[in-house]
Amino acid sequence: MGDGITITGGYTAAETDTMRRAAGALRDAAGRLDDARLDAARARAALRTGEVPWAGAVVPWSGTEVWTTRWGADAFAAVGAALDDVAAADGAVLRAAGALESLALAVLRAARLYDDHDGIAVRLLDAAVPAGIQVLAAELGRFVPPWAGGGDGRSAVASVAGAASWAFDGAAHAQRGGGLRVEEVTRGTVDGRPDQPLPDLAAPGSVEGALGMLEVPNKAGDGVMAVQRIGDGPDARYVVLLPGTQDWNVVGDGAGDFANPRDLTSDLDLVGGRASDYTDEAAEALARVVPEGASVVVVGHSLGGIAATRVVTNPVLRRRYRFTGLVTAGAPSGGIRVPDDTLTLNVENARELVSALDPGPDPPGPRHVVVHASGEDDVVRQALDGAPYGGGTHGLAVHAAVLAEARTRHDPALDRALAELDTSLGAGTPGAATRTWYFRGQRGGAAVVAPGRATSDDGGAEVSVGATPARPPR
- Give pLDDT tens digits for 139-161: 444 444 554 444 444 455 565 55
Residue 295's nearest CA partner among 342, 353, 251 is: 342
pTM above 0.85, yes or no: no
pLDDT of 50 > 80? The answer is no
- What percent of the chain is predicted at pLDDT more than 70? 55
More confident residue, 433 or 63: 433
Q: How far apart are CA 247 and CA 249, in angstroms?
A: 6
Q: How far apart are CA 129 and CA 17, in angstroms?
A: 32
More confident residue, 342 or 357: 342
Residue 303's nearest CA partner among 344, 343, 261 is: 261
Side chain identity, residue 392: G
Average pLDDT estimate for 269-280: 83
Instruction: Give the mean pLDDT of the chain.
Output: 73
pLDDT of 257 > 50? The answer is yes
- What percent of the chain is predicted at pLDDT more than 90? 31
Residue 362's nearest CA partner among 326, 387, 388, 412 is: 326
Q: How confident is the model at residue 115 (pLDDT cuts 50, 70, 90)?
A: low
Give the bridge partners for 435, in sequence order: 229
Give the bridge partners for 371, in sequence order: 7, 347
Average pLDDT estimate for 118-130: 41
Average pLDDT estimate for 307-321: 95
Identify the pLDDT of residue 184: 96
